[in-house]
C-alpha cells in the first residue's frame, strides 16, 4: 500500500475510533458532551496541521492561507476572494430551495402517516447568532480542515477526483453515524459531496466552511419552523 495512503487511512480511522469512544463516554462523564466536543475539535484541527508541517508541505496546497492572506508582501488576491464568495452563493441558490421543498415533502408525509396537522411558521432558532458562530467556528471550520482540506487533498494525490470525493464523503458520513447506529445519520454523505466539490473548484476551504455552516443553520431554521398538532 502507498505509504501516504496508509498514513492517511490510519488517521481517518483513528478519528472514527475516537468519535466512537467519545460518544460512548458522553453519558458517563460530567460535562461529557463539552469534553467530547473539545477532544474531537482538537483532533480535527491539530492532527492535519501537524502532519502538513511535519512533511514540509505548503499550507496553500491544503486550501489554507489562500488569496495571499499572511503572505510576505501582504498582497491579497481580492479577485479570487470575491470569486469564491460568488461561487458559494451559487451553490446556496442551487441547493437550498430544492432542500427546503424536499424537507417540506417529508414533513407532509410524516404528518399524514401520523394523522396530525402540519403547521409552518417561519421562525429562527433561539440564540440564532450564537448558533451561526458555533456552526462556523466549532463545527464547519475543523470538519472542513480535516475532511476537505486534509483527507481530500491527500486522497487526490493517489486517486481520481470522483473516487476521492466519494471516499471523503463516506468518511464524513461515517463520522456522524458511528456510535449512534441511526441510518439517518448517514445522510450527511450527500451534502458532503457538495462540500468536496466546492472545496476542489475553489482551491480554498473558505467557501466550503461558509456553505457548511449555512447548511446546518438552514436545517435548524426549517426544524424550528415546522410543528404538528
Helix runs in the chain, H state only: 3-25, 32-54, 78-113, 128-134, 141-144, 152-156, 161-177, 189-202, 206-225
Q: For residue 119, what are the β-bridge partners? A: 227
Dihedral angle sign, alpha carbons of residues 197, 219, 43, 127: positive
Predicted pLDDT at 200: 94
User: Measured between alpha carbons, how far is 12 from 77 in angstroms, rounded to an integer?
Assistant: 33
Span 54-62, mean pLDDT? 85
CB 182 within 8 A of CB 169: no
Is it the case that residue 77 has pLDDT exceeding 90? no
Predicted pLDDT at 87: 93
pLDDT over 70, % of the chain: 95
pLDDT band at residue 71 using 50, 70 and 90 as cut-offs: low
**Tell me: the pLDDT tens digits for 95-117?**
999 999 999 999 999 888 888 88
Contacts of 16 (CB under 8 A, 6+ apart): 171, 174, 175, 178
Span 8-24, mean pLDDT? 95
Amino acid at each position: 500500500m502507498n505509504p501516504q495512503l496508509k498514513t492517511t487511512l490510519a488517521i481517518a480511522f483513528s478519528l472514527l475510533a475516537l468519535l466512537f469512544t467519545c460518544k460512548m463516554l458522553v453519558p458517563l462523564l460530567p460535562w461529557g458532551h463539552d469534553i467530547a466536543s473539545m477532544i474531537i475539535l482538537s483532533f480535527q484541527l491539530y492532527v492535519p496541521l501537524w502532519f502538513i508541517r511535519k512533511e514540509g508541505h505548503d499550507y496553500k496546497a491544503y486550501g489554507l492561507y489562500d488569496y495571499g492572506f499572511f503572505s510576505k508582501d501582504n498582497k491579497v488576491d481580492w479577485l479570487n476572494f470575491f470569486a469564491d464568495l460568488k461561487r458559494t452563493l451559487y451553490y446556496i441558490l442551487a441547493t437550498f430551495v430544492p432542500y427546503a421543498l424536499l424537507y417540506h415533502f417529508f414533513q407532509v408525509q410524516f404528518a399524514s402517516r401520523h394523522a396530525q396537522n402540519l403547521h409552518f411558521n417561519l421562525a429562527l432558532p433561539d440564540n440564532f447568532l450564537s448558533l451561526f458562530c458555533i456552526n462556523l467556528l466549532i463545527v464547519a471550520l475543523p470538519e472542513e480542515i480535516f475532511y476537505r482540506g486534509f483527507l481530500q487533498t491527500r486522497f487526490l494525490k493517489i486517486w481520481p477526483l470522483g473516487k476521492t470525493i466519494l471516499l471523503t464523503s463516506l468518511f464524513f458520513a461515517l463520522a456522524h453515524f458511528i456510535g449512534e447506529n441511526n441510518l439517518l445519520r448517514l445522510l450527511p454523505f450527500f451534502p458532503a459531496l457538495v462540500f468536496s466539490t466546492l472545496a476542489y473548484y475553489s482551491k480554498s476551504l473558505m467557501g466550503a466552511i461558509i456553505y457548511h455552516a449555512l447548511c446546518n443553520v438552514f436545517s435548524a431554521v426549517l426544524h424550528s419552523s415546522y410543528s404538528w398538532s
